[in-house]
Amino acid sequence: IVSFAFETPRRSTARRRHRHRRHRATFQSSTSAPGERSQSSSTSAGGGGASVVVVPPPGEEEGSSPSLSQSAIEDLSTRGYAVVPGFLPRSFVDDLRRDAIALRSDSMFRRAGIGQDSSNALDEGVRVAETCFLGRGRRELSSSTSISSISSISSSSYAGGSGCVRDGPGGLHDVLDGLRESLDSLDPNAPRLDRNLDEVLYAYYPRGGYYRRHRDAVPNSASVLRRYSLLLYLNGEGYDPDVDGGRLRIHLDGGGDECPPGEEPKFVDVDPIGGTLVLFRSDAIPHEVLDTNAERYAVVGWYNRGVSPADIGTLGGAVGGGTNVARAAMLAVGMALVTFGVASILGQ
Ligand SMILES: O=C(O)CCC(=O)C(=O)O
Ligand SMILES: [Fe+2]
């Protein structure tokens, strides 16, 4: 069993001063049982061995939009996932969490189904969570509570009216657009990610929440369009994964929704500390949210490839059986693209 630790930009001001430094974290031997982690680690691994470079990029400068470092891009292309602690500055994290809390108190969250399945079924054996789909400029998501609570606007470049921490300049959607551009640079030969098909939501796990092992993109469903999954944790400074649970477990055993028979479990656990970004390949990385002992907030998103004519049979079936309005809307956009813009879909 191996584990590793790197500095995280939480609590200690001494640590915060060093947050722009580059940290190389290397797996070390440890005697802990699978799933146990060292007290100080932000990420720990079970069963495997590898070297991980984590670069907290600058996010605190006024007016700058956090961007993906080259090493995170390399991690993503070589290992299929990247973890970036401190990607978002604390004030931004706090504003987004307040926005999510305000939207939840305005009843804009729904019990979450199992996202990658075309029926989007509710299954408490697999997942206990609530979600609120976010689209740029979705007007019904302009919570009055969320306007007054946004504190980072005065001290940074965010501007605009209600929901501006999402929709305003330098807000969430701008950050996510910037990440999409970085992801597009990963494989210049692959078709562009389709901005019209981005999916973004707030996710809330209550105490007693979880999301059992799954993949975000599975064949024969609309989720097949998902290329990259994104997680941005929004938990407050008091969130302590040793007590509050809710770690993200990234499975590296080569299996799909289950560990292959006879394989040793191999995984990395990520602390859902506010500001941490996780990106991974939606089809290749099974993962789960371990049981939560406290309320847990995150932005969850998917960057999708465009719809190709070959997809239409599969996706048509998915829309027919679907109850997920956002997914159906996404597919409607995709189908409209096929109808009206085949050339652009084929990249010609
Ligand atoms: O919140 C997390 O850490 C992961 C959530 C997830 O896997 C999902 O929403 O598909
Ligand atoms: Fe997932």
Measure the CA angle with vertex 64, ends 60 and 70; round to 5°: 90
Residue with the smallest CA separation from ligand 1 atom 3 is 248
Q: Of 83, 199, 229, 251, which is best to mutate to test ligand 1, by the most ligand atoms within 8 angstroms of its C-beta? A: 229
Q: Counting Cβ atoms within 10 Å, is residue 184 exposed (0-12), middle (13-18) or buried (19+)?
A: middle
- Report residue 125's pLDDT band, with 50, 70 and 90 as the boundaries: confident
pLDDT at 175 over 70: yes
Residue with the smallest CA separation from ligand 1 atom 10 is 216
Q: Of 273, 300, 302, 303, which is best to mutate to test ligand 1, by the most ligand atoms within 8 angstroms of its C-beta? A: 300
Structure tokens belonging to residue 4 = 């590793």
pLDDT, mean over the chain: 75
Q: Domains in the chain and their CATH numbers? A: 62-345 (2.60.120.620)
Could you report the predicted ipTM of this complex, rounded to two decimals?
0.99
Name residues contacting ligand 1 (CB within 6 A).
Answer: 115, 203, 211, 216, 231, 248, 287, 289, 298, 300
Give the rounded percent of residues in the chain with a pLDDT score beyond 90: 50
Ligand showing the shortest atom-to-Cα distance for residue 300? 1
Section 50-64 average pLDDT: 43
Structure tokens belonging to residue 97 = 């969490």
| Residue 170: per-residue pLDDT | 93
Which residues have a beta carbon within 5 Å of ligand 2, which is an ion?
Answer: 216
Residues with Cβ within 8 Å of residue 124, at least 6 apart in sequence: none
- Which atom in ligand 1 lies closest to the alpha carbon of residue 115? 10
Residues with Cβ within 8 Å of residue 201, at least 6 apart in sequence: 131, 132, 133, 134, 299, 300, 301, 326
Of 59, 61, 44, nearest to 9 by C-alpha is: 59
Largest CA distance in the chain: 59
Ligand showing the shortest atom-to-Cα distance for residue 201? 1
Least confident of 93-107, 193-207, 215-229, 333-347: 333-347
Distance from Cα 215 to the centre of ligand 2, integer Å: 6
**Which is more confident, 231 or 57?**
231
Distance from Cα 116 to the centre of ligand 2, integer Å: 8
47 Rama sector, left if φ>0, alpha if ψ -120 to 50, beta otherwise: left
Structure tokens belonging to residue 92 = 């931004």
Residues with Cβ within 8 Å of residue 329, at least 6 apart in sequence: none
Of 60, 62, 68, nearest to 84 by C-alpha is: 68
Beta-carbon count within 10 A of 154 CB: 8
Q: Per-residue pLDDT tens for 198-214?
A: 999 999 999 999 999 99
| Residue 344: per-residue pLDDT | 34
Q: Of 131, 204, 211, which is best to mutate to test ligand 1, by the most ligand atoms within 8 angstroms of its C-beta? A: 211
Residues with Cβ within 8 Å of residue 347, at least 6 apart in sequence: 191, 192
Q: Per-residue pLDDT tens for 260-293?
A: 999 999 999 999 999 999 999 999 999 999 999 9
